[in-house]
């Protein structure tokens, strides 16, 4: 029985998998925030390089990964797949638990799988600076890493509550040469407006997006980059699932259950889309795909499947997705990431069509699961990833009750080495199990654009 399954460097994927080619029905069009008409490539070229715009709408099943991008991905890819035997024994489950370990990347998460190609395509089109947002800091540090390798400048607007909670993520960005600004800030009109409305606001990912998009749109040398949600971002992450499928085949396994945490949807898309494609096309029709989110930001489980702005100020395109409303602000007591008001349009569509399902957990039970994982498998996971660990443990316990020896695969999307303040809060009993109130969700949803 293999505990660690490794691919050779030559086996790293040469193509990304584009699930749009296999969707049962096409995605709803992305709309312009002002005209509410379908966006054109010219509309998007203000903030994105043309190659990423093409990938966003492509119906081509496989898209080549440039060799310059693969050269950098080789620093940590292919990433290892582990069998969690100690966790299995602790749970006394007949289930086989596997996890794809993305914490081996230099920034410590799955995020560089897309930050590297995004920085590359921007560099190729002559852009010299990229503006972005970040919640808990994983995306900001990943983009800072990527831009440093391609000689680009990087400006990161970090959600204010996370900026205070996770200072070492800010330090990582600075080491790689990025400027990290707490959001909302006085550097943009959208930031100033938010501060005038509430000087003590803790910020939100939607607000940080507004600042980054405004920054990019008002500077000719600057483009905007997003770490989740968009189709091209999810596609870049499919290297995870493509590798995992090949690694499981090496031990003659195929997963019955696939699990990932969801904020915007990128790491869950990365692990699940290649298997979802197998499911949709009938190759493996009975796979269970579980998206896991926090009860403090219950987008898929309590949000509305509707058109909404991608940001607070209404500068970003309007997307058809599950949403809590673009002016949703998660509570500052929420210790992890996964704070976005919406989700990937493709993930949302697949949940809406019941190809995938979603569950939500409170943060104390999530940290308890992370503790169990650390004390059995040795890895301290990021609070975001801990949501996937919790769902994995629950599925394994179900197998214990039924006697089914299911194969469970989850995406271990990042380490928690810079998240110890959240673990400290857990051990000090300061983590509050907060369920976002239905009346506040209803109030936020009342402000959706009228499409």
The 10s digit of each residue's pLDDT in 139-158 is: 999 999 999 999 999 999 99
Which of the residues in the chain have pLDDT under 70? 1, 330-337
- pLDDT recorded at residue 335: 56
Q: Tell me if residue 381 falls in helix, strand or coil.
A: strand
Residue extents of the structural domains in the chain:
67-108+232-445
CATH class held by domain 67-108+232-445: alpha beta
| pLDDT for res 329 | 74
pTM over 0.85: yes
Residue 333's pLDDT is: 53
Q: Which residue has the tokens 């006085």?
A: 186
């Amino acid at each position: 029985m293999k505990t660690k399954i490794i691919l050779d460097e030559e086996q790293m994927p040469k193509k990304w998998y584009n699930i749009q080619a296999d969707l049962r029905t096409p995605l709803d069009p992305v709309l312009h925030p002002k005209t509410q008409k379908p966006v054109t490539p010219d509309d998007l070229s203000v903030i994105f390089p043309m190659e990423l715009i093409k990938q966003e709408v492509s119906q081509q099943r496989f898209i080549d990964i440039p060799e310059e991008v693969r050269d950098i991905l080789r620093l940590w890819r292919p990433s290892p797949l582990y069998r969690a035997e100690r966790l299995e024994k602790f749970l006394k489950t007949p289930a086989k638990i596997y996890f794809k370990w993305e914490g081996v990347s230099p920034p410590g998460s799955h995020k560089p799988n897309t930050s590297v190609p995004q920085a590359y395509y921007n560099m190729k089109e002559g852009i010299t600076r990229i503006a972005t947002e970040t919640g808990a800091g994983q995306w900001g540090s990943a983009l800072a890493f990527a831009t440093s390798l391609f000689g680009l400048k990087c400006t990161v607007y970090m959600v204010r509550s996370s900026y205070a909670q996770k200072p070492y993520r800010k330090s990582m960005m600075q080491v790689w040469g990025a400027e990290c600004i707490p959001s909302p800030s006085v550097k943009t009109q959208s930031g100033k407006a938010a501060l005038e409305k509430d000087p003590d606001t803790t910020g939100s990912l939607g607000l940080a997006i507004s600042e980054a998009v405004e920054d990019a749109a008002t500077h000719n040398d600057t483009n905007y980059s997003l770490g989740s949600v968009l189709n091209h971002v999810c596609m870049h992450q499919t290297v995870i699932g493509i590798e995992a499928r090949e690694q499981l085949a090496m031990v003659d396994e195929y997963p019955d259950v696939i699990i990932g945490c969801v904020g915007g949807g990128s790491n869950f898309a990365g692990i699940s889309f290649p298997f979802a494609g197998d499911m949709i096309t009938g190759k493996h029709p009975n796979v269970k795909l579980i998206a896991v989110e926090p009860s403090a930001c219950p987008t898929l489980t309590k949000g509305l499947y509707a058109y909404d702005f991608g940001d607070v100020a209404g500068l970003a395109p309007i997307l058809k997705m599950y949403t809590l409303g673009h002016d949703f602000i998660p509570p500052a007591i929420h210790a992890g990431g996964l704070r976005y008001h919406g989700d990937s349009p493709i993930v949302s569509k697949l949940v809406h069509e019941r190809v995938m399902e979603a569950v939500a957990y409170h943060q104390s039970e999530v940290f308890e699961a992370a503790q169990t994982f650390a004390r059995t498998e040795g890895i301290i996971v990021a609070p975001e990833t801990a949501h996937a660990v919790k769902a994995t443990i629950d599925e394994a316990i179900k197998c214990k009750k039924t006697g089914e020896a299911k194969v469970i695969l989850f995406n271990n999307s990042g380490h928690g080495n810079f998240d110890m303040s959240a673990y400290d809060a857990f051990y000090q009993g300061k983590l509050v199990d907060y369920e976002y109130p239905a009346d506040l969700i209803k109030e936020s949803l009342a402000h959706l654009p009228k499409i």
